[in-house]
């Protein structure tokens, strides 16, 4: 009889212990779930809105050589511009060089003529009939000597300026070819010349200011690529 009562008490004791441990186990499971959710929230990536990068298209020419461009322009005017694909500059270059060359020919012609007349006036000699400047000597026979000397100096100065301008412009087109090639070689230059119109919303609310009550206005976005 006592053994039966002892067994019953032991059974009730184990049962009570088992029931008392169930909340403890549930608390541990709850804490474990809380820790896992916190870890997932820390390790998860924050939301970042996508940014469109297709509005500009860049096509740098990494094979373009500024050295080749300047050497070409030094040898033949406009060759460096052709190498840089700037064909429209070639007519301008040859027009300017042609005008300077024509100015040189014009001033050189009259410089030689008045130089001969000035030397003839200075030495008191007259050219023989039929020679190169005989007709000019007769034409300007009534002109004062100082006017002949002044005209000679003026044409000589203009001739020298024409030579200097020709050489300077030759150098300018070399520098222009070098700069264009340098930009194409070392910097990204946008070759997409286009105008793009997209619908958009003005004063739109961001994800960090959901409580903002400002007006939302539809609009158009203009994207100019040059």
Per-residue pLDDT of the chain (226 residues; tens, 9 = 90+): 544 455 555 555 555 554 544 444 444 455 555 555 555 554 555 544 554 555 455 555 667 788 999 999 999 999 999 999 899 999 999 999 999 999 999 999 999 999 999 988 888 888 888 888 888 888 888 889 899 999 999 999 999 999 999 999 999 999 999 998 888 766 654 555 566 777 777 665 555 555 555 566 677 677 665 5
Distance CA 83, CA 64 (A): 9
Record the pTM. 0.55
What pLDDT, on a 0 to 100 scale, did the predictor assign at position 21?
Answer: 47
Q: What are the distances in angstroms from CA 169 to CA 83, 92, 147, 160, 175?
A: 19, 11, 32, 14, 10
Distance CA 175, CA 66 (A): 10
Compute φ and ψ for 101, nearest 5 degrees: -65, -40
Closest by CA to 224, choosing from 186, 187, 202, 198, is: 198
Distance CA 87, CA 52 (A): 35
Burial 103-112 (b: 16+ CB within 10 A, else e): bbeebbebbb
Distance CA 140, CA 159 (A): 22
């Amino acid at each position: 009889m006592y053994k039966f009562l002892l067994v019953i008490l032991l059974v009730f004791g184990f049962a009570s212990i088992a029931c008392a441990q169930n909340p403890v186990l549930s608390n541990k499971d709850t804490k474990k779930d809380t820790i896992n959710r916190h870890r997932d929230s820390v390790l998860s990536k924050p939301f970042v809105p996508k940014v469109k990068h297709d509005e500009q298209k860049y096509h740098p020419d990494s094979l373009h050589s500024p050295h080749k461009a300047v050497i070409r322009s030094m040898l033949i005017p406009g060759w460096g511009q052709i190498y840089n694909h700037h064909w429209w500059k070639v007519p301008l270059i040859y027009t300017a060089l042609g005008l300077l060359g024509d100015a040189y020919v014009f001033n050189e012609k009259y410089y030689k003529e008045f130089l001969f007349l000035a030397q003839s006036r200075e030495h008191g000699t007259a050219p023989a009939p039929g020679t190169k400047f005989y007709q000019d000597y007769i034409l300007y026979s009534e002109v004062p000597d100082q006017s002949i000397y002044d005209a000679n100096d003026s044409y000589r100065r203009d001739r020298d300026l024409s030579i200097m301008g020709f050489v300077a412009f030759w150098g300018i087109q070399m520098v222009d070819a070098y700069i264009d090639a340098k930009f194409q070689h070392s910097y990204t230059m946008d070759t997409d010349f286009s105008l793009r119109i997209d619908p958009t919303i003005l004063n739109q609310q961001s994800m960090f200011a959901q409580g903002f009550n400002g007006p939302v206005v539809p609009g158009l976005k203009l994207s100019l690529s040059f």
